[in-house]
Structure formats: structure tokens, C-alpha cells
């Protein structure tokens, strides 16, 4: 059922720019997980709705999600990107240059949580897409860095449906722990939406 809905929505989603399609092709060919166009469009809408200018990404990969944020900020954004893999930074910068994106991209290589703990806010959006075992530790980091009314957005919260299983492996348990903790956290008002692999949108109160 879930796959059928995803296939349907993907089939009617409008085409992207040539560079975005190239990035999607690279992800497909190399089995690299990106948010894809369904979630990318949601990121664009969320950033537009909250008038975002300052955005922090935890786990940027080669820049596909940041590309959507950059479109929403109409070139006036300051996007701090993080990733543990230096080759992703080179690839992202190459795509952004060729696409002529105008945002200010500050791409930092290293552990996303360690980098974020040293940053000063406030950010309008913190987007969370690191390895799932690290998810529970991102809540305090996002709460500190977001302005009031800012958005904490997290991908993969349904984790291919595995969060529903009774017996959970360690990674699934971390996603489940994160989901429950975020819903209960009075610093945020949260909804988890079943878009693609599940996207959490939490408003910093
Ligand atoms: C799912 S991909 C990100 C995709 C990107 N957000 C997009 O949709 O275009 C996750 C990325 O986070 C990086 N990553 C995972 N855990 C990390 C961590 N703790 N610190 C820094 N980078 C991390 C991986 O190297 C990988 O490139």
C-alpha cells in the first residue's frame, strides 16, 4: 500500500531542473540515500512558509536537500551544511556552481553533532538526516539552535515501516526513541507525516 502510494505520487510530481535530475541519477546509480523530490518539495514549502534564511543541515550528502532549501530562500539563504565525507562536499559545490545557485553555502566536514554543538544560532530551520543511531542526540542540539517558531525537520522517521515492528534492531529502536521523545518534548510541537519514508516537522515553541 505504502509503496503503491509513493509510486503514484512520484509519477505525478513535476519535473526538476537538469542539474537536480543529474543529482537524482547519481543517487540512483550509486545507491546514495537522498530525500528525493517528494520530500524536497516539502522542504521548499516549509522554508518558504517560515521565511527561512538561516538553515543548518545535519547530514548534507552531496547537496540535494540543500539545493531545495536554496531555491526556497531565493538566493538570500545562509545554509550551513555538515557531512563526515569530504568527497560529498566537493560534489555538492560542483553541482551548486553549475546550477548557478546564489545562496551562501558553508559546508563543514566532520561529525555533524560535534560541529552543531559548537555553532551559535539562531537558525530558522535545522534539517536532520544523519545516521539514524545519532537521532536521539539531535533533539537537544536543535532545541538550542532554533529560534522560537523555527522548524526542526527530520527525515526517515517511518524507516521503511520498521518502527511499527514489535522486535526492533538497534537502528530502528533509535528512530522509535527519537519519535517518542520528540512528541513528548514540550520545547517542540511535532507532527510526523508519512511522506516517502516519514518526515517529522517540529516547531520550536
Ligand atoms: C541520507 S544522506 C543525506 C542526504 C541529504 N540530506 C540529501 O537528502 O540530499 C546522510 C549523509 O549524512 C552523512 N552522515 C551520517 N551521519 C553523520 C554524522 N554523524 N556526521 C556527519 N555526517 C553524517 C553521510 O555521510 C551521508 O552523506
Per-residue pLDDT reduced to its tens digit, 2-60: 789 999 999 999 999 999 999 999 999 999 999 999 999 999 999 999 999 999 999 99
Neighbour count for residue 117 (Cβ, 10 Å) = 13
Average pLDDT over residues 139-155: 98
Q: Which atom of ligand 1 is nearest to the CA of 40?
A: 8
Return the pLDDT at 160.
94
Using the predicted structure, report yes or no on whether residue 180 has a pLDDT greater than 80.
Answer: yes
What distance in angstroms lies between residue 56's CA and the mean position of ligand 1's atoms? 13
Burial of 151: CB neighbours in 10 Å, binned 0-12, 13-18, 19+:
buried
Kindly state the percentage of the chain with pLDDT values over 90.
Answer: 98
What distance in angstroms lies between residue 132's CA and the mean position of ligand 1's atoms? 10
Return the pLDDT at 1.
62
Tell me what the pLDDT averaged over the chain comes to: 97
Ramachandran category for residue 192: left, alpha or beta (phi over 0 → left; psi -120 to 50 → alpha)? beta
14-29 b/e (C-beta count within 10 Å ≥ 16 → b): eebeebbeebbeebee
Ligand 1 binding pocket includes 133 (Cβ within 6 Å): no
Q: How many domains are contained in the chain?
A: 1
Ligand 1 binding pocket includes 129 (Cβ within 6 Å): yes
46-65 b/e (C-beta count within 10 Å ≥ 16 → b): bbeebebbbbbbbbbbbbbb
Q: Report if pTM > 0.85.
A: yes
User: Residue 122: phi, psi to the nearest 5?
Assistant: -90, 150
Q: Which atom of ligand 1 is nearest to the CA of 88?
A: 27
What CATH number does the domain containing 141 carry?
Answer: 3.40.50.150
**Crossing angle of helices 64-72 and 86-99, rounded to 10°:** 40
Largest CA distance in the chain: 47
Q: Which atom of ligand 1 is nearest to the CA of 57?
A: 6
Taking only the tens place, the pLDDT of each residue in 48-73 is 999 999 999 999 999 999 999 999 99
| Domain enclosing residue 71, as ranges | 2-204
What distance in angstroms lies between residue 4's CA and the mean position of ligand 1's atoms? 27
Amino acid at each position: 500500500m505504502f509503496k503503491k502510494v509513493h509510486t503514484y505520487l512520484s509519477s505525478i510530481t513535476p519535473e526538476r531542473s537538469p542539474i537536480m535530475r543529474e543529482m537524482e541519477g547519481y543517487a540512483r546509480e550509486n545507491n546514495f540515500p537522498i530525500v528525493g523530490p517528494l520530500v524536497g518539495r516539502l522542504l521548499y514549502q516549509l522554508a518558504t512558509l517560515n521565511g527561512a534564511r538561516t538553515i543548518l543541515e545535519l547530514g548534507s550528502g552531496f547537496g540535494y536537500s540543500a539545493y531545495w532549501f536554496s531555491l526556497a530562500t531565493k538566493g538570500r539563504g545562509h545554509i550551513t551544511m555538515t557531512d563526515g565525507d569530504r568527497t560529498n562536499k566537493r560534489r555538492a559545490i560542483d553541482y551548486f556552481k553549475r546550477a548557478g545557485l546564489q545562496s551562501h553555502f558553508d559546508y563543514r566536514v566532520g561529525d555533524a553533532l560535534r560541529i552543531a554543538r559548537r555553532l551559535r544560532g539562531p537558525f530558522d530551520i535545522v534539517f536532520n538526516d544523519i545516521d539514524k543511531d545519532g537521532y536521539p542526540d539531535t533533539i537537544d542540539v536543535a532545541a538550542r539552535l532554533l529560534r522560537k517558531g523555527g522548524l526542526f525537520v527530520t527525515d526517515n522517521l517511518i524507516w521503511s515501516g520498521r518502527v511499527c515492528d514489535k522486535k526492533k534492531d538497534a537502528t530502528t529502536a533509535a528512530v522509535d526513541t527519537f519519535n517518542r521523545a520528540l512528541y513528548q518534548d514540550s520545547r517542540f510541537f511535532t507532527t510526523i507525516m508519512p511522506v516517502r519514508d516519514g518526515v517529522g516537522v517540529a516547531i520550536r515553541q
